[in-house]
Amino acid sequence: MAALPETVDTAPLPLTALTEEEKFFQSTVRKFAREEIRPYVREMDEAGVFRKDLLKEMFQLGLMGIEIPEEFGGQGGNFFQCVLAVEALAEVDPSAAVIVDVQNTIANNILIRWGSEELKRRYLPKLAHDTVAAFGLSEAGSGSDAFALATRATRQGDHYLLTGRKLWITNAGEAGLYFVFANANPEAGHRGITCFLVERGFPGFQVGKKEDKLGIRASSTCELIMDECRVPAANVVGELGKGYKIAIETLNEGRIAIGSQMVGLAQGALGHAIAYAKQREQFGKPIADFQGVQFELAVMATEVEAARLLVYNAARMRDAGLPFVTEAAMAKYFASQVGENTASRAVEILGGVGFTKDYPVEKLYRDAKIGRIYEGTSNMQKITIAKQILG
C-alpha cells in the first residue's frame, strides 16, 4: 500500500472540487485552447511545427510562468494549476500541453527550487515573459538508465566546458534556455552529475536534428550538440554533483503533469466519441442508442475519471508537501494507459471516419503513445510502485 496521507483538521473536499480561482483559470485555458488553438491543430500536426503566435499568446496568458513568483513576473500560482492547464490544453492539442508542461513543471520548477538568487533574478523573468526552456537529460545511450549519461563537464577557470550530445529534447527547437545534465566528475559516478543552465547563444552549443514523430508532432523534439560549450560556473544550478537529485525530484513532479496530459487527451477523445455517437445514424437510429456503444462510452468515462482522480490527488499531495512519489508514478502509469485505450476506442466509435484525418481522434490516438514513454516509461513507473509496495 502507498503511504496514507497525514490526517487534516478540516473535512477534505472532493478531489475534483475547484476553488473559484482554479475554476476561472481552467475556463480561461479551455477558452484559449478551444477558440485559439483548435483551428490550427491539424495544420500544426501536419507541418510538425507549433505556431509562434500561439506560443506568444501562451506567454501573454501567463501559461508559461504559472508557478513563477509574481516578483519575477510570473503568476505566483501552484503546481495544481499547472496540472489544470496541461489537462485543458491536451483536450484540444497534446502538443500545446507538453510545451506548457515542460516549461512549468520541469524548467521553471528546477530554477525556483534549486537556482541561486542570481540565476532566479536573471532567468525567471525571461521564462515568464518570452523564453521557452528545455530539459536535456536523455542521450542515445542513456534513456531509462539516465545517469549513465556520457556528456562531460570540465572546469576551465570560471567556466565549464560541456561536451556531448542530448537526444529527444522537448521544446529544443523554440527554446532559448536549456537545463543540461553533464558529469563533472565521472569517477564519482552519478554523484558527478551536475545541472547547467545553457543559453542558446553560448559558444559551442547547437540544436541538432529535429525528430519526425508518430505523435505530438507540433512539439519539437531535437538533439542538442555541445562541443566544448562554454558555460559560466555561475550557471551551475544547485550544487555541483547534485544534478542527479535535481533530475529525479523534478521528474517525480513532472510526470504528474504527463498524467494530466493523458487525462486531457482522453477527455478530448471521449468528447468526440459522444458527439459522433449522438449524430451518426445506423439501422435507423443514432448509434448512441445501441447498448454496445453506450457501454463502451460508460467504460471510457469511468476510466477517464479514475485517471483524473489519481492525477489530481498526486498534484494536491505535492502542493501540500506530502510524500507523493508512488502516487505520481501510479498516476502517470494509469493515465497513459487510459489515454491510449480511450483514444483507441474513440477511433472505433467513429468507425471509418475515425481512421481518417478528417476527424481529430486519429491524431489523439497517435499522440497518446508518448505517454507511456517519456518522463519514465511505464516499466520505470512500475519499478517505483513495486519498490514501495514491497518495502
Ligand X SMILES: Cc1cc2nc3c(=O)[nH]c(=O)nc-3n(C[C@H](O)[C@H](O)[C@H](O)COP(=O)(O)OP(=O)(O)OC[C@H]3O[C@@H](n4cnc5c(N)ncnc54)[C@H](O)[C@@H]3O)c2cc1C
Q: Among all residues, which ones are annotated catalytic?
A: 375
Q: Give the span between the Cα atoms of 386 and 29, in whole angstroms.
A: 36
Quote the least distance from Cβ 208 to ligand X, whole Å.
14
**Min separation Cβ 168 and ligand X, Å:** 4
Closest separation in Å from C-beta 379 to ligand X: 3
* Residue with grid cell 445506423, as numbered in its chain: 282
Distance, CA of 270 to CA of 275 (rounded, Å): 9
Is 377 one of the binding residues for ligand X (CB under 6 A)?
yes
> How far is residue 103's CA from residue 131's CA, in Å, rounded to a whole number?
9
**R_g (Cα) of the chain, nearest Å:** 21
DSSP assignments along 103-153, one per residue: IIIIIIHHHHHH--HHHHHHHHHHHHHT--EEEE--BTTBSSSGGG---EE
149 versus 315: smaller Cβ distance to ligand X: 149
Kindly state the smallest distance separating residue 10's Cβ from ligand X, in Å.
39
Q: Which stretch binds ligand X (CB under 6 A): 59-67, 124-132, 298-306, 373-381?
A: 373-381
Name the minimum Å distance from CB 108 to ligand X: 14
Choice between 90 and 277, CB closer to ligand X: 90
Rounded Cα gap, residues 143 and 166, in angstroms: 10
54: number of CA atoms within 13 Å, CB side?
24
- Which single residue brings its beta carbon nearest to ligand X? 143
User: What distance in Å separates the CA atoms of residue 113 and residue 363, rounded to the nearest whole number?
Assistant: 35
Q: Which is nearer to ligand X, 221 or 252 (CB)?
A: 221
Give the C-alpha separation, 184 to 195, whole Å.
10
Amino acid present at 261: Q
Rounded distance between C-alpha atoms, residue 84 and residue 64, angstroms: 13
Q: Confirm or reject binding of residue 136 to ligand X (CB under 6 A).
A: yes
Does residue 138 belong to the site contacting ligand X (CB under 6 A)? yes
373 binds ligand X (CB under 6 A): yes
329 contacts 255 by C-beta, under 8 angstroms = yes
- Cβ atoms of residues 136 and 206 within 8 Å: no
Stretch that binds ligand X, among 198-206, 225-233, 296-304, 372-380 (CB under 6 A): 372-380
Binding residues among 139-178 for ligand X as defined by CB under 6 A: 143-144, 168-170
Query: Residue holding cell 491543430?
Result: 41
* Minimal distance, residue 320 CB to ligand X, in Å: 27
User: Quick one: 97 or 288, whose CB is closer to ligand X?
Assistant: 97
351: left (phi over 0), alpha (psi -120 to 50) or beta: left
Whole-angstrom distance, CA of residue 100 vs CA of residue 58: 8
**Residue holding cell 513563477?**
68
Binders of ligand X among 265-324, rule CB under 6 A? none
Site for ligand X in 352-371 (CB under 6 A): 370
Q: Is 135 in the site for ligand X (CB under 6 A)?
A: yes
Shortest Cβ 139–ligand X spacing (Å):
8
For ligand X, the closer of residues 76 and 143 by Cβ is: 143
Instruction: Decide if residue 104 touches ligand X (CB under 6 A).
Output: no
User: For residues 62-91, which are near ligand X according to CB under 6 A?
Assistant: none
Task: State which residue, 82 or 317, has the beta carbon closest to ligand X.
Answer: 82
- Using the rule CB under 6 A, which residue among 221, 250, 261, 341 binds ligand X? 221
* Site membership for ligand X, residue 259 (CB under 6 A): no
- Among the listed ranges 15-23, 86-94, 138-146, 268-276, the one in contact with ligand X (CB under 6 A) is 138-146
Total of residues contacting ligand X (CB under 6 A): 17
Q: Is 137 in the site for ligand X (CB under 6 A)?
A: yes
CB-based contact 58:100 (threshold 8 Å): yes
3 state SS of 156: strand
Pairing relation of β-strands 177-183 and 193-199?
antiparallel
User: Can you give the binding site for ligand X, defined by CB under 6 A?
Assistant: 102, 135-138, 143-144, 168-170, 213, 221, 370, 373-374, 377, 379
